[in-house]
Structures are given as structure tokens and as C-alpha cells.
Amino acid sequence: MFLEFFYLLRARGLDVSINEWMTLEEALDKGLAKASLTGFYRLCRSILIKSESDYDKFDRVFCEYFEGIETPEDLPEEFWKWLSESDRERDLDDRGDKELFARELEELLQMFEERIKEQKEKHDGGSYWIGTGGTSPMGRGGYNPSGIRVGGRSRHKSALQVAGERNFKDFREDTILDIRQFQMAFRKLRQYSSRVDGAERELDIDKTIDETCDNGGMLKLAYEKPRKNTVKVLLLIDSDGSMLPYSRLCNRLFQAVRKSNHFKDLKVYYFHNAIYDNLYTTPHCKLRDSVETNWVFNKLDSDYKVIFVGDAAMAPSELYRPGGNSIIGLFNRETGMEWFEKFKKRFKKQIWLNPIEKKSWEYTYGARTIHDIGQVFPMFELTLDGLEAGIRKLLVK
């Protein structure tokens, strides 16, 4: 079964053994893929791929082999007919009369399967069925803080998953980044570690081999000075407002950075849209939990690698006007752009990670400020590829 797929994996440089392939066959016989292309993808990756560094290569091969295959987990045809019969869209400012709450993906997927089995007719404007223009967590053209968008176009950028792509897509582009993937990317910053002064107390394997060979085969141990990580990171995260739809993604990034032991020092501060006189120690951006930005400049040396995380989307006044600070009661004499220019001059290396898809930067809300901030800092999409490209930028001497 899928023998050509096996040969394609090996031809593209993935080390897949016969034993691993037979294990996959056995898992398929036991029904672990659940007759789903998505399930088959996850089963293949868990059995055949041994390192996160090969995930991207595997995704590309999988997409190449299964291009054009329709997934059996698509909605039944009658659902697509019902949804296509209505152009109803809820006003962007209409968030519903009652309080809506976010759900986890597992719960949503279970609810989605239940609605497919229960629903017998077209629905619009409600809060329960798969329809249009309502507050249901499943459908299109409505509002819910986290749900499954079924076809249509993205409006609030809050969907956890999209059920509307009729053909299999490259999982690398669609997957939700997890903490482990972020941690693997941040490991690359260890290239900045260096030998420190001190006694030679770590065993040098290569030098020991050379010394032993030169000593006629008699073991001669060689030691070297210990390696110490010298990387210092300043992480600045945009919080609240238009960043709310990306809060889960940014939280994963934050946890990955916190759990990483690859840095000599890590400082984390928050801001809202643009940076002004104060940075905040919590994502609530309250003045009582703030420090002066100039204090941060004076405390941290220029070797800190600065990583901004934010959508860079805001009203132009917030970036270019004195008093543009959107937090009531805080008047900024220096504009947000002037503060960003100060960061550019103060620190040697900076990057900006943007959770908005790069293809949308030119026409989405805030396109002007996204463009202008991108002229100050190298800007990358907040995907695994974008993060790795940004880290490479930080490593350039």
C-alpha cells in the first residue's frame, strides 16, 4: 500500500526504514488513521519521522504525493449547498448580545462532528448550528472568539481551524505551531556560545582521539575549556486589542522562550501597539506594572538580541503623533516611531515577528504601519519558517 510514497520519501532524503514502513502498515490495518487523510498524515509523521528538523521536508513530500486528493473528512455536499445559498454576514462590530467564550480545539472538533450528524437543514444567524452570520462556533460570516470557519473568508482572524479547503494543503503552512517546535527553532541561537576563561575540565573527544593515535594507541585524554552560552534576549510582546486573536500563538512562543535554557539572560516586557515612555511587566499593560523604557535602555547593554512580537497594525496616529498613545491618561511627547528608532540605534540586532500572514500585509487593516515598521526592523511571519529566518538574521555578524 502506497509503495510509491515510500520510495518518494527516500528519494527526497528522508531516512525511512523497512521496519518503520511495516509498522505503519500494521497501524493502518488496526484503523489508527480512521479513514482520514489528516489522520494518515499524523500517523505517518509519528512513525516515520524521527526528528522535528525533518518535519518540513516530510510535509513537502506528503503534499507532493497527495496533491489533489479530496479528504473524506470534508463536510457532506448538502452542507456546502446550504452555505452557498446564503450571503449573510454579521456586521464586524456586532459581537452578539450574550457573553461568548473560547473553547479548546478538541472540544470544537467533537462539537463539529456532532452537528454534522444532527443537522438536517439550512440555518442562518443562530448560535448552535453550522450556518452563516450568527454566533455559532461553526460556520462563516459571523462572530465567535474561537471556532471553526466553514468556507468563506477570514474576517476576525479568530478561527482555530478552517473547514473549507477541499483539497489537501501543505501542513507546514496550516499547522498550529506548538511549544516544542518553537524550542527547536530557538536552539539555533546557541551558535553564539563561546569558550570562557577557566580550567580545561571538559573532555575533548576529537582531540583525545588524535592524541591517542599520536601516542601509539595508548590512551591519552585531552580536555578543553567549558562552553558557556552568551546569548542575551529582550522579548517585547504586543498585547491586547488586535492581538487578541493571536493570544494562543503568542502564549506558545512565550512558554517556549521561558522553557529554553539556551540564553545567558532573558528579559520580557509588553507594550500595546507601539512603544512609548513605558514598558509593562504583565500583558495587561497597567501603569502600576510598568518600567520606564529609558530605564531598560540604561540597564541592558547593546548585545541583547531584541525580538518584537506583534501585528504592527494600528491607527497611524498611534505611530506618528505625540499623544497618540491609546491608553487613556498617558501622553507621549515622543512618537511611537521615534521610540522604535531609538531601539534600532540602541541594540545591535533586532527582528519583528508578525502573526498576520505575510501575503496580507499590503492590504489588511494597518497596512501602512506594518509597512513602515517593516522599514525599521526586519519583519518575519510568525511561523516556524519565519522564526528560523529571523533567528538567522540575529546570527549574522
Question: Between vectors from CA 163 to CA 160 and to CA 169, what angle results, nearest 5°?
Answer: 95
Q: How far apart are CA 96 and CA 397, in angstroms?
A: 52
Query: Would you state the pLDDT for residue 92?
Result: 59
Burial class (CB in 10 A: 0-12, 13-18, 19+), 77: exposed
* Residue 198 pLDDT: 63
**What is the per-residue burial (b if ≥16 Cβ within 10 Å, else e) of 172-183?**
beeeebebebbb
CA angle 146, 152, 153 (to 5 degrees): 70
* The three cell numbers locating residue 207: 582531540
Q: What angle do CA 282, 285, 286 make, to 5 degrees?
A: 100
Looking at residue 213, its pLDDT comes to 93
What pLDDT is stored for residue 244 in this prediction? 74
Q: How far is CA 110 from CA 73, 92, 105, 138, 369, in A?
A: 13, 27, 9, 11, 40
In angstroms, what CA-CA distances link 166 with 150, 163, 169, 212, 328?
11, 8, 9, 63, 46
Predicted pLDDT at 160 = 46
CA distance linking residue 397 with residue 92, whole number of Å: 46
Q: Which helix (H) or strand (E) holds 223?
A: strand 223-224
The model's pTM is 0.54
Average pLDDT for runs of 10 along the chain of length 397: 85 90 91 78 88 76 71 58 69 59 64 81 78 75 70 54 40 48 72 59 86 90 78 89 75 78 84 93 87 95 94 91 78 92 95 92 91 96 87 85
